[in-house]
Structure 1
Amino acid sequence: MLQISDHIDDIARATGFLSRLPVPARYFTDHDGSLSRASGMFPAAGLVIALAPALVVLALSLMDANAALTALIALTVLIAVTGALHEDGLADSADAFGARRGRDHMLEIMRDSRTGTYGVLALVISFALRATALTIILSVIGGWNTALALLAVAALSRAAITWHWTELPPARREGVAASVGAPGDGASTRALVSGAILFLGLAAVSIGILPAVLGLGAAALAVSQWTSLVRRKLNGHTGDTLGASQQVAETASLVTLALLL
């Protein structure tokens, strides 16, 4: 049975994998690099990652700052914290699928560090939707509640990664996704259940129970459709499609919450 110290270790390792936040080296000493267990703490890591952006929203709202600028600054901080890890996955996936070529060619495009037209468009659309949704949410419910909503979305979208991860086999044997292993059954369940509970609890308190339920449903539907698309195109996941799944869930849930205000 896992001890509290095990959960703390897993949160630290998950945070280190999903962000550029400094994590003490002791959490990785004599560790094999696998995320099979630590992936169960992805939603908790999402809370850690979103803490700084949430505090930015709160601080700027207390200063009566412009809602649109506050949303843009908060998203910029969030991207800085993650090192644009998930955005990079979204862009690479869009470029690969937009090419309309065979599976091997799409995987080769994902290895290319350059960003093409489809990738740029995906990033612009994703950022615009999230910024607009966050602006609306902040304008209607204020800084405290928006900070809670941002934490809720961060937890849920990281849980979405494990869902996509467990639904598909690795598309290739090498690469980051294959090297760190797949979430174990217990870890996947832990991530999905805790992610849903955190989202429903925080979103219900900040916005309302109906928007929370519908926001969860929208994220689940969006990630399910994304996973089906990846299955048809690649018959397996990559590190890029994992990152894109987070962006899909985050965008779907934020937009749904904003639409229901």
Structure 2
Amino acid sequence: MREYMRDIARAVAFLSRIPVSPSFFAGYDGKLGPVSRAFPLAGLLIAAPGAAAFGLLLALHADPLMAALLALTVQTVSTGALHEDGLSDTADGLGGGKDRERALAIMKDSRIGTYGAAALILSFGLRAAAMAAIARHAAPIDATIAMLAVAVLSRGAMVWHWHVLPSAKPDGVAASAGQPDGDAMQVALITTLVLVTLLIWSSLGISSLISSLLVAALATFFVNRHVRQRLSGHTGDTIGATQQICEIASLCTLAMCV
């Protein structure tokens, strides 16, 4: 349990810009594969500031769309736009690359292209619209819980994507960080299922829970299949893109269920 708590702190440090004490990294080898088991719970902690801002603004009777955009602003500052960067790079690579080598080269380029810009606009727009729709039909506390649940669910999807696909680039960042083994993936997925069930069932009901889990699983499955076909494996960018796609799909599903 002590090591798991340390992994949560390490996961928060990797997935966000939230300060973490250096003591958690004493004797740490830098491998993220084992740490990934804590990604879902770390996602809950990372999303807490944005969710708190969302709930507070709604309680103060702020316009739901404005509250959603401000909450996403807080969340983006907390994460340093880590996953959004992965989404934009993946969109540019898969959209502009005619073959695997060209797609990987485009993804490595730090400049953003048309596909990447469009992906970011759609990501923020769809998430804000879905969050606002949830807020219009649910109590502020339930809308806040929905944001937390989706953060957990999307981080679990990252671990699944990272585990089932081989590394597309042996010399890439994702490869050097290590890949989650079966035990890490199982812990991550079980943690995701337990937390999401507790959060969504208690706030939005069983139908919302089943629908969000099903849609998130389908979205991750199709992302995995498409990335395997185009790149023959994952990269750090596709891991981040998986999180974003799963978050968008889950929020839109909950918005249609409330």
> Could you say which TM-score interval applies, normalised by the shorter chain?
over 0.9
Instruction: Report the Cα distance in structure 2 between the residues aligned to 1:229 and 1:177, rounded to whole angstroms.
Output: 18
SS of alignment partner, residue 32 of structure 2: coil
1:191 aligns with 2:193: no
Q: 1:195 and 1:176 mapped to 2: Cα distance?
A: 25
Q: 5+ residue gaps in structure 1? A: none
Which of residues 90, 94, 103 in structure 2 aligns to 1:93? 90
The residue that corresponds to 2:223 in the other structure is 226
d(CA) in 2 for partners of 1:36, 1:198 = 21
Q: Per-residue deviation at 1:100?
A: 3.8
Moved over 4 A (4+): none
One-letter code aligned to 2:63: N
Contact 2:167 2:235 in 1 (8 A): yes
Q: Pick from 23, 42, 46 the counterpart of residue 45 of structure 1.
A: 42
Answer with 56-65 or 70-79: which moved more.
Answer: 56-65
CA distance in 1: counterparts of 2:124 and 2:51, whole angstroms: 17
Q: Percent identity?
A: 47
Distance between the aligned counterparts of 2:94 and 2:58, measured in 1?
40
Moved more, 24-33 or 157-166: 24-33
Q: Which amino acid aligns with 2:117?
A: V
By how many angstroms is 1:38 displaced? Answer: 1.2
Q: How far is the alpha carbon of 1:29 from its aligned partner?
A: 2.4
1:167-201, CA deviations, whole angstroms, 9 ceiling, x for partnerless residues? 10000112221111011211100101111221122
TM-score (norm 1): 0.97
Aligned to 2:113: 116
Contact 1:129 1:255 in 2 (8 A): yes
Deviation, structure 1 residue 207: 0.9
Letter of the structure 2 residue corresponding to residue 55 of structure 1: A
Residues 211-232 of structure 1, C-alpha deviation per residue, up to 9 Å, x if partnerless? 1111110011011001100000
Q: Tell me which moved more, 41-50 or 201-210.
A: 201-210
What is the aligned length? 258
Q: 1:126 aligns with which of 98, 123, 126?
A: 123
Which among 199, 210, 228 is matched to residue 213 of structure 1?
210
- The one-letter code sitting in structure 2 at the alignment partner of 1:11 is I
1:243 counterpart letter in structure 2: G
1:78 to 70, 75, 79: 75
- 2:249 and 2:64 map into 1 onto residues whose CA distance is 20
Matched, 1:158 2:155: yes
Amino acid at match of 2:55: L
Matched, 1:60 2:61: no
Distance in 2 between residues matched to 1:178 and 1:85, nearest whole Å: 17
Bigger drift between 241-250 and 176-185 goes to 176-185
1:176 correspondence with 2:157 = no
Distance in 2, Cα, partners of 1:13 & 1:165: 17
- Deviation per CA, 1:112-156, whole angstroms, max 9, x where unpaired? 001000001111111111100000111111211111111110011
Please give the alpha-carbon distance, in whole angstroms, between the structure 2 residues aligned to 1:204 and 1:153.
13
- 8 A Cα contact 2:97 2:106, kept in partner: no
Q: What does residue 236 of structure 1 align with?
A: 233
